Amino acid sequence: MRRILDSLTSRRTSIALMAFVAVFGALGAWIPQTSLGQSDALAIWQRNNPLMARIADALGLYAIFSSWWFLTALAVFAVALAIATVRLTRASWRAWRSPGRAPRTLLQGASAGPIVDRAKRAGFRVRTEAPGRYVLDRRGFGVWASSVLHIGMLLSLVWAALLLGTTTGAIADFSLGEVREPGMQYYAVEDATDPPELGVPWRFDGMDVTTWSSGVPKEVSATLSFYDGAAWIERTTSVNHPLRIKGHTIYTQPGEFGDAALLRIIDADGAEHLIRMDFYFIEDGQPTYTDAPYAIGDVSIEGRWDPNGVRDPKPLGLRQAGDSAAEPVTLAPGDTAKVAGLTVEFVDTAEWARFIVQRSPSVLPLFLGFAIIGLGSLMLYAWIPRELVLEETDGGVRYSWHAARMSRAYVSERDAILGTVADDMEER
């Protein structure tokens, strides 16, 4: 058992797992993945690469990132990482606490005093372990670099897994001024059995859009109000600045907002339908169109939104879906018209917006893990611990020199401190 555990958590296995994740990650980036909602792209890829598609199909490469074997590899990697982190931390602790290395090389006729002075000037700290024995070190904390990096990676990996496993999300759809009560249905949910729920009523109070001169949005923010039992509390959320409230995060989505036409439609059977026909935000002032037809019984209609009067002074145009040759029937608010056998009243205009709502643990430990990885990475590169041990003897000074990780990279520094260039000197 111990041997299996040892081999699973060896450095060699970690490297092999990194290579495994790299190879299949690259394949997963090349082959569209159904698990990432890329079914349409996959169909095109299969058409363009029939031979590769057969191989990928046989090997089950269309859902790599959610496959049991890929997730198992990641889990084993996490275990290997955890054990490597413990081992590295113990090794760093030993290196941190260990006495200086035994000096071996003799500098004949030298004395320790000037060397110590030069080392101090070069930024080394001096510790006298015994009379005539000095341990000089610089950036000694750098022995922790690998350990810090691995702690950060472990924390990030564990917290990322926790976040991925526990986060639930939904999309809330609002018309201007609409209140969402607890328990109301969402526009879309990731997991219908456990949707996120703030537990208080909240309301959409409008979008604020500033644009570049071309009409492209520059900044988009939304005003939302939350009822705390006594009063409505107003909060703002914008793209790139989600709102964290009651253990939930609310995101404003770029492009998921715009104008709408509120319609009352009477079908051929006399039944009444209330419809909110959505149009996405217009960037260039040109008319915009519904992205999918609206089905009213057996009839489908589509709309054109032209608030700037480019095509017609009346902002709303309606026609039967798919009948591209037909000129749309145009309406202004309050108008009623016949469209594809339906009686349509354009009641009013409205604003709409959709927000992502997520319930998740705090993301801060993940970002703390990231910061620790960053620190460890920089320490690995820039914080190379160097140690010079001097011992005065009858014939001169014996010394040892050690620069971790970058063997021979600090030879010139060592030579400058020792005041000599000696070919017989070798670092460990």
Partner 1 sequence: MEQALAIEIRVHVAALALYALAAGLVLFGTTMSKPRLTKAGHILAQIGLAIHTMALGLRWYGAGHGPYLTRYEVLSSNAWVTMAFVQALRLRTRGSEGLAVFVYPAVLLLLGLSIYTGPEVKMLPLTFRGIWLVLHVAFYFVAFAAAILSLGYGVLHLTRGTRFAGRLTGLPDAAALDRESYRFAGLTFAFWGIGMLTGAIWAYYSWGRFWGWDPVETWSLVTWFVYGIYLHARRFYGIKGRKAALLLVFGFVLAVISLFFTSFLTTSLHSEYFH
By CB under 8 A, name the binding residues for partner 1: 11, 14-15, 18-19, 21-22, 25-26, 28-30, 32-33, 36, 38, 41, 65, 156, 160, 163-164, 169, 212, 214, 216-220, 239-242, 249, 251, 254, 356, 358, 363, 366-367, 370, 373-374, 377-378, 380-381, 405-409, 412
Please, which residue, 256 or 306, has the CB nearer to partner 1?
A: 256
CB of 426 to partner 1, least distance (A): 13
Neighbouring C-beta atoms of residue 276, cutoff 10 Å: 15
Give dist(CA 33, CA 42) in Å, integer.
7
DSSP per-residue letters across 182-218? TTPPPSEES-TTS----SS-EEEEEEEEEE-TTS-EE
CB of 246 to partner 1, least distance (A): 16
CB of 103 to partner 1, least distance (A): 25
Report how far Cα 236 is from the mean position of its chain's Cα atoms: 22
CB of 21 to partner 1, least distance (A): 7
Please, which residue, 124 or 251, has the CB nearer to partner 1?
A: 251
Please, which residue, 40 or 394, has the CB nearer to partner 1?
A: 40
Please, which residue, 257 or 346, has the CB nearer to partner 1?
A: 257
Residue 425: strand pairing partners = none
Instruction: With CA atoms as reference, report the closest residue to 204 among 241, 230, 171.
Output: 171
Please, which residue, 7 or 407, has the CB nearer to partner 1?
A: 407
Q: Is residue 304 a contact partner of residue 314, using CB atoms and an 8 Å limit?
A: no
Please, which residue, 174 or 383, has the CB nearer to partner 1?
A: 383
Instruction: With CA atoms as reference, report the closest residue to 346 among 312, 314, 313, 323.
Output: 314
CB of 205 to partner 1, least distance (A): 20
Give dist(CA 235, CA 107) in Å, integer.
72
* Pairing of β 342-359 and β 125-130: unpaired
Q: Is residue 223 a contact partner of residue 208, using CB atoms and an 8 Å limit?
A: yes
CB of 58 to partner 1, least distance (A): 22
